[in-house]
Structures are given as C-alpha cells and as structure tokens.
Amino acid sequence: MIKASNVTKRFRSVTAVDNLSFQLAESESLALWGSNGAGKTTLIRCLLGIFPFQGSIAIGGIDVRRSGKQARAIVGYVPQELAFHDDARLGSSILFFAGLRRMDRHAAAKSLETVGLLGHEKKRVRDLSGGMKQRLALAIALIADPPIIILDEPTSNLDASGRGEVVQTLCRLRDQGKTLVFASHRPDEVITLAQRVLVMEKGRLVEETTPSKLWPKDERIQTLRLHISMGTDEAAAEVLRDAGLAVNLNGHGLCVSVPRNRKAEPVSVLARASIEVRDFEILDDVHKATEQGGAEE
C-alpha cells in the first residue's frame, strides 16, 4: 500500500530524513517511533507529498512526487494540532474539506457521527476542547473513507480521557481494515495500535521491529520521565539508547521505558556517563495502560 525507497529530505545543511526505505501492506499499522528531531514529522510530510524530497514514495501505486494530489485523495491526514480558522464553525469547517474531496453533506455528517461529533456543528472551532478538535481532524480525515490514515502524534496534546477516545476510534478503524501510519511517543499507544514500528533517529531508520520486541509483554514495562541538567537532554538520550533502552525525547521531557524491576538502570547508566539525574517520575505501566484501554473498549 505504501512503498518508500531511499527517501531523503534536506533542509539546507540539515538532513531531516536520511535514505529511509520501508514498505507497508494493506490493512497494516505502522508506528514511527523516535525522539524530537528524529524526522518523523518530516517523513509524514514527504509521504503526503507536501515537501519535495529525493527518492521515491508510492501510495496505492501512485507516485507521490508526480501525482501528489491523486495520492492524497486516498489518504486521510490528522495533524498534531488541528490547524484551522478559530472563528469558523465546526459544520462549515468540515463542509469545506468535504468540498475539497467532492463529498456531500451526508458524508460529512456520517464522518462526524463516526467520531461522536454529530450535533456540535454550530460550535466555533475555538470553543472546542483539545479532544474535540482532534476528533474533528479525524472526522475530516475520514470524510472520503480513505483506505490510508496518516497521523502525526494524534494524542500528544490530549489528556488521558481525550487520548483514550482517539485511540479507541483508531482501534476501530484499524479493525475495519484501514492502513494506519502514525507517529507517537507513547509506548502504550504503539502497543495498542501498531503491528510494526520504525525506530528513527536523526532522520535515519535505526531499527524496524514490532511493539512486542521493543516492550516484551512478559516484562512489566514502565515509563519514567527523567529530570536532568539543562542542555544535556540529547547527550543523555544517546547514552540511554546506546545502553539498549527505548528513549523518547520530546517537548514533554526525556522519557525512557524500562522493565518494572530495573527502574534504577537509566539513572546508573547516566551516572556512569557523568550526567546527573535530579529527579524522576513514573508515568505509567505500559502494558497495564494498554490492557485498561482494551477493557474500556
């Protein structure tokens, strides 16, 4: 369904995506995992044909570089944050995007129903909660019932309840046979939604794996947020990665997922590299969160 070959994207001297290749079959779900600056968002924009790039990407057999518009017609895109005019009403917003895809009011209404937003059409976008905005973005992505959905950290700005709603909707879509590609920094999301994971670092594909290999199910995995000295985040992330730990450095801090009985390991690894850990907090138990998500469904 998606075939990316030797994709490279440079911004002047910075290589955001470096010679990356992967394939994704129909109905598969793929997570893009990596720290901030790993190139996940840039790769997504290349997949959508928004950025010019070197290499080739075919979506449903359509060359994205040559026929970006046609390729995007079979893709629904959900950005990290819904970027839309705040003054617009929810109803007119979705009708505008329906118009771009030659879909009618009924398709727009059906899409709103799918994400549980039917009846909110008169609300202005600025009055929507973060979760509602994200669901609106999902509704817009689903208007034309595209076979592929691409999502860029779809739950990063949501609270636990909003996150649960979006993940449940995505689970339903995956079960309906949609092909999903998403960037995420939450292990529980990746475990719940993805069949495969591309681990990216500095624009390169470091590893192509599965969630169960990254976070084995027989081990209780917990995510820790480490508070370390200013300016040492990136060095710390590299040290932890070298020690074989799943690290995520993003706007919310340096997070590392470790087996429950080895929580002190990241601290000692960093201490050996003379990086001081001032404090840490335990965010969640990855598999427990996943199971809870499943139970809620």
Partner 1 sequence: MTTLSRAKSLPSVHLSRVASVAAFARREFRDAISSRWFLLYTVAFTVLAVAVSFMSLAGSGSQGFAGFGRTTAGLLNLIMLVVPLMALNAGAGTIAGERERGTLLYLLAQPVSRFELLLGKYLGLAAALCSSMFVGFGLSAAVLAWRAGSVGLTAYAMLIAFTCALALAMLSVGILLSVLSRRSGVATGLGLFAWLILVFLSDLGLMAGTILFKLRVQEVFAIGIANPLQAFKMAVIVNMNASLDVLGPVGMYASQTFGGALPWILAGVLAVWTIVPLVAAIILFNKRGSV
Map the footprint of partner 1 across residues 186-215, applying CB under 8 A: none
> What would you measure as the largest C-alpha separation in the chain, in angstroms?
61
Map the footprint of partner 1 across residues 38-57, applying CB under 8 A: 45, 48, 50-52
- With contacts defined by CB under 8 A, name the span among 93-101, 154-162, 260-268, 270-278 that binds partner 1: 93-101
Check binding of 147 to partner 1 (CB under 8 A).
yes
What is the smallest separation between the CB atom of 48 and partner 1, expressed in angstroms? 5
Q: What is the rounded distance in angstroms from the CA atom of residue 209 to the CA atom of residue 55?
A: 23
Contact predicate 153/80, CB 8 Å = yes
Q: Which of 12, 69, 106, 213 binds partner 1 (CB under 8 A)?
A: 69
Q: Are strands 54-59 and 2-11 parallel, antiparallel or unpaired?
A: antiparallel
Q: What is the rounded distance in angstroms from the CA atom of residue 166 to the CA atom of residue 172?
A: 10
Q: Which is nearer to partner 1, 18 or 81 (CB)?
A: 81
Check binding of 118 to partner 1 (CB under 8 A).
no
What is the smallest separation between the CB atom of 38 and partner 1, expressed in angstroms? 19
Check binding of 8 to partner 1 (CB under 8 A).
no
- Number of residues this chain uses to bind partner 1 (CB under 8 A): 33
What is the smallest separation between the CB atom of 16 and partner 1, expressed in angstroms? 13
Check binding of 130 to partner 1 (CB under 8 A).
no
Long-range contacts of 50-54 (CB under 8 A, 24+ apart): 51/9, 53/7, 53/8, 53/9, 53/17, 54/6, 54/7, 54/8, 54/9, 54/10
